[in-house]
């Protein structure tokens, strides 16, 4: 398995555990369509949350959340609309979040920053 895929799966698993501990219910993983992909779709307190996860082992390419730029957010919005239509969800109470995960391999620790309503 390619390193980038392994890193992404590892980060996604950490993100799921983090969100579930915070009371989020995971509805879908890796939802994709022609418009793009959303890593996780969750629900909390009646609100849908579309979540992008960025995992890094170093800051060589900047902070993980810096990769969620306007282009990525636009793709997320288009993908979310496809999901809502496909699932016949009329709920207009939704937001877009980013989970930035930095892994320290030596310390075997992860720092997770949850950016809400990006």
Global pTM reads 0.91
How big is the CA angle at 41 (ends 46 and 38), to the nearest 5 degrees? 145
Q: How far apart are CA 97 and CA 91, in angstroms?
A: 17
Per-residue b or e along 59-90, where b marks 16 or more CB atoms closer than 10 Å to that residue's CB: eeeeebbeebeeebeeebeebbebbbeeeeee
Domain carrying residue 51: 3-115
CATH of the domain at 14: 3.40.1350.10
The per-residue pLDDT for 107 is 79
Per-position pLDDT tens, the chain of length 118: 455 556 668 889 999 999 999 999 999 999 999 999 999 999 999 999 999 999 998 888 899 999 999 999 999 999 999 999 999 988 789 999 999 999 888 878 889 999 999 9
Provide the number of structural domains found in the chain.
1
What distance in Å separates the CA atoms of residue 48 and residue 77, rounded to the nearest whole number? 13
pLDDT at 112: 95
């Amino acid at each position: 398995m390619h390193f980038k895929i392994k890193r992404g799966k590892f980060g996604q698993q950490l993100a799921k555990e983090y969100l579930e501990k915070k009371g989020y219910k995971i509805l879908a993983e890796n939802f994709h369509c022609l418009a793009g992909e959303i890593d996780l779709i969750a629900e909390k307190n009646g609100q849908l949350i579309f979540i992008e996860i960025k995992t890094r082992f170093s800051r060589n390419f900047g902070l993980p959340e810096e990769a969620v730029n306007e282009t990525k957010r636009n793709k997320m919005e288009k993908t979310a609309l496809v999901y809502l239509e496909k699932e016949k969800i009329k709920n207009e109470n939704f937001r877009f979040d980013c989970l930035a995960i930095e892994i320290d391999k030596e310390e075997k620790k992860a720092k997770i920053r949850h950016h809400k309503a990006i």
